Structure 1
Amino acid sequence: MFKEYRSRRAEAQPNVLKLERKNEAPKDADAPSEDLELKAHLDLKNRLHGELLDRLNLTMIDKVERSELKRQIASLVTSLIEAEGVYMRSEAFSSLVEELIHEVMGLGPLEPLLEDPTINDILVNSFDKVYVERHGLLEKSKVRFRDERHLLRVIDKIVSKVGRRIDESQPWVDARLEDGSRVNAIIRPCSVDGPALSIRKFSRVPLTLQRLVEQGALNQQAAGLLKALVDARLNILISGGTGSGKTTLLNAVSSFIDTRHRIVTIEDAAELQLQQEHVVRLETRPPNAEGEGTISQRDLVRNALRMRPDRIIVGEVRGAECFDMLQSMNTGHDGSMTTVHANSARDALGRIEQMVTMMGAELPLKTIRSQIASAIHIVVQLSRMSDGSRRILSISEITGMENDTITMQDIFVYKRRGRAETGAVMGDFVPTGIRPHCFDQLVAAGVDVNADLFKRLEV
């Protein structure tokens, strides 16, 4: 059956199947019980996958349309299943073929999860324990890997595509998928129970500020203010805890940057999805097998200053590169942006201060704070709420220095009103009634801002 199919298609399509045939695997004499049905399915898929790898011409796969590849694989799987003596319904057969295509061309069991738009995070604790996050809440998935080797193979496929490695000498790695999704993997000996994998999915359709308004992350007035701040080229620091949506907001806010501006982005793993055309993306490099060749974010920030950028966007500041970022904001690269991990706007400034001291230079504390106060204009604080939703908690303005203290004032804040019967957090994003010091700067930049935007509302 398979030979006839291959000969009919040989002239029309590139042949991805080798001519040689191996002896078919012997039939399993023992029929699997109901309790072992899943294990039997995984074992069958493993055997078929091995046969496919032996018979597929992997160098030709990329040249064949997916539909044609699926037909060729389906034909081969049919003959192999007949040799196994296994009888399957058409639905189960189609599902098996799809799983095998995922194994050959994609990331195996992860593919259905990556294609599911309702899933935000994929968390693999071990080969047989996979969790996903939907709408901010975790749930256990039925997806599982065959064993640790299977999971390790998928991890290696991910990291090798971006030129990184993971082994006993370097047992953890940050990487990304082709769509920009963030990946972290860690293996033995650091991961006691075997390989663990975390994937933070990014929407294939970039979230705009308007969509964030519709989702309740902020209101229309605050969105208008953020747009005005970007148009006027004020420097913005986005702060929040893990999973609070910092990168998502950075992507959304950056969409308002003038398309005529030259933008340089700097990240550990490239995941920003800027909509402008004039963008140069820079990415750090980990050490090689000899422990050499590291390229840090600080190296890239310094290099970016020589690339004639209008704006510099650092995906997240974590160390000494923070000092160079502040210097760039103070030396003509207005409208730059970055993110930082912190639980409040005030804590964010404290973290920035600590990172500058990591540089090693013994600068007076007042000098560091003065640099921060003059470089950063706006701090946007985000948080993930108890119901899993992500919201902006405040938009704050840095107004200067008073003695040795950086002074700030809130322009918009989120006020909680309690919880609904469904468990959803209830609240309103409202102006504080304070007109920001930067209002005159917005007007001078030609940005149309209505002063009524800042009037306090009674909630």
Structure 2
Amino acid sequence: MSLRDQIAGNRLQLVGERDEAAAAALAVRTKSEAYQRLKREMHLTVLDRVELERLVRMPEEQIRSEIGLLIARILDERKEPANDLERRQLTIDVYDEMFGFGPLEVLLRDPTVSDILVNTAKQTYVERRGRLELTDITFYDDAHLMKVIEKIVSRVGRRIDESSPMVDARLPDGSRVNAIIPPSAVDGPLVSIRRFAVNPLQVPDLVSLQTLTPPMAEVLDGLARAKVNILISGGTGSGKTTLLNVLSGFIPNDERIVTIEDAAELQLRQQHVLRLETRPPNIEGRGEITQRSLVRNALRMRPDRIILGEVRGAEALDMLNAMNTGHEGSLATIHANTPRDALTRLENMISLAGLALPPRTMRQQIASAITVVVQAARLTDGRRKIMSISELTGLEGDVVNMQEIFTFRRTGIDSTGAVRGYFCATGVRPKFSERLQAFGVTLPENIYDPARRFETN
């Protein structure tokens, strides 16, 4: 056989395999569409035949049993071909539609999913281990997705409609939800859910995941116990809130803590915690409660520490004032790519407070209020790292002095796409060492030794 004939034969084989794959994909899609249609019909029929008021008074297992029996009866009446596995799945799906968040429930039950991204009714992505994956989860139509969104936001007293097409809310497990609908979303409703683990990550988990090293964890533990003000900086999805949860775990149990957030996400383990949450304006444009007003109110609540979920605007000035007036050991997060950018963003936010402060005055306020900036990042392979722990040492002229204590240095990317690098100290002995000693925090002598490297794999 000639080379040309071989090439032609291979091409025909590829075309045949492609046609078979397309046919298989079409069969799966057709089956999925048929199941979706059957599920919707079952849902509507069950709603017509049951008394919801009677069902809600029953235990969950009894409700599932009642729905299962009713679905079996309807399938038998309609002579629908369905095996035992499909009947059990229909029972689960119809229950989720009636009492949960519909198609999202299967993803919310999956502990490996860290983010759920719904791109209109026909497409849903998830993030697992830092990587995005397309799922086969779909909604009947945009109206079905809108019902799920309304169910989520109504449970936390929020609203979403054409006059207010964007909303931040939270699920019962603390996961954060952002939704945006038409007219702001051109192609249909969009939903993003940031999952939070039922069991929050602890320091040993972050060390085993190579997010930080044992020496870095010891220093952060000491900083929290010595009531040092810490700002956590990072981009979206870099693990700022997870790190804030971990740092809050170092706070002694006998302190009074006030948390302030747009959507309550923090999962503090202390006993004496007061959680405050912002509120958007109502349909008349009234009743808004901003982070700035909550920070001001928190100062009257006799807090030992204030934890601000994320600094976004004029509340930055009130937060810095609180840190400078007896509320030491406070924590906050901010969106920024480097520690220096974080200080620049803080300066810009102070100017939003409506006070015409000179730049030097603003920088003096920042330098005296914040001692440490912890920089977090999500690398290209999806893993989170603490890239830097830096100390603010004061103001020199018009510049805030900053020195890096620990850093992560990249050395390349391996054959699997994983980022290679190592953690190390820079060799600088921080000025806050004296404060740690004053609070009885003793660290090993070699903790700032730059020769100690911690390679990542």
TM-score (norm 2): 0.92
1:198 aligned to which of 171, 176, 192: 192
2:329 maps to amino acid: G
Secondary structure, aligned partner of 2:300: coil
Q: Which residue of 2 aligns with 1:249?
A: 243
CA distance in 2 between counterparts of 1:452 and 1:57 reads 69
Cα drift, residue 65 of structure 1 = 2.1
Q: Which residue of 2 aligns with 1:160?
A: 154
Secondary structure, aligned partner of 1:178: coil
2:32 aligned to which of 29, 38, 41: 38
CA distance in 2 between counterparts of 1:142 and 1:193 reads 19
CA distance in 2 between counterparts of 1:275 and 1:55 reads 45
Cα drift, residue 248 of structure 1 = 0.5
Q: How does 1:27-426 map to 2 (within 5 A)?
A: 36-426=30-420
2:184 maps to amino acid: C
1:74 maps to amino acid: G
CA distance in 1 between counterparts of 2:311 and 2:392 reads 19
CA distance in 1 between counterparts of 2:82 and 2:176 reads 37
CA distance in 2 between counterparts of 1:215 and 1:352 reads 30
Secondary structure, aligned partner of 1:212: helix
CA distance in 2 between counterparts of 1:70 and 1:100 reads 9
Q: Deviation per CA, 1:81-107, whole angstroms, max 9, x where unpaired?
A: 122220111111111111111111211
CA distance in 1 between counterparts of 2:194 and 2:291 reads 21
1:451 aligned to which of 445, 448, 451: 445
CA distance in 1 between counterparts of 2:422 and 2:451 reads 10
Q: Which moved more, 1:58-67 or 1:284-293?
A: 58-67
Cα drift, residue 311 of structure 1 = 0.2
CA distance in 2 between counterparts of 1:193 and 1:178 reads 28
CA distance in 2 between counterparts of 1:266 and 1:205 reads 21
Q: Which residue of 1 aligns with 2:431?
A: 437
Cα drift, residue 277 of structure 1 = 1.1
Cα drift, residue 169 of structure 1 = 0.3
2:185 maps to amino acid: S
CA distance in 2 between counterparts of 1:217 and 1:34 reads 40
Secondary structure, aligned partner of 1:414: strand
Secondary structure, aligned partner of 1:306: helix
Secondary structure, aligned partner of 2:150: helix
CA distance in 1 between counterparts of 2:431 and 2:68 reads 67
Where structure 2 has 5 or more consecutive residues not aligned to the other structure, the ranges are 1-26
- Is the 8 Å Cα contact of residues 425 and 452 (structure 2) preserved in structure 1? no
Q: Deviation per CA, 1:327-361, whole angstroms, max 9, x where unpaired?
A: 00000000000000000000000000000001111
CA distance in 2 between counterparts of 1:160 and 1:417 reads 49
Where structure 1 has 5 or more consecutive residues not aligned to the other structure, the ranges are 1-32
Taking only aligned residues, the RMSD between alpha carbons, in angstroms, comes to 1.3
Cα drift, residue 62 of structure 1 = 4.2
Q: Which residue of 1 aligns with 2:15?
A: none
Cα drift, residue 43 of structure 1 = 1.7
Q: Which moved more, 1:304-313 or 1:88-97?
A: 88-97
Cα drift, residue 72 of structure 1 = 0.7
TM-score (norm 1): 0.91
Cα drift, residue 238 of structure 1 = 0.2
2:309 maps to amino acid: G
2:290 maps to amino acid: S
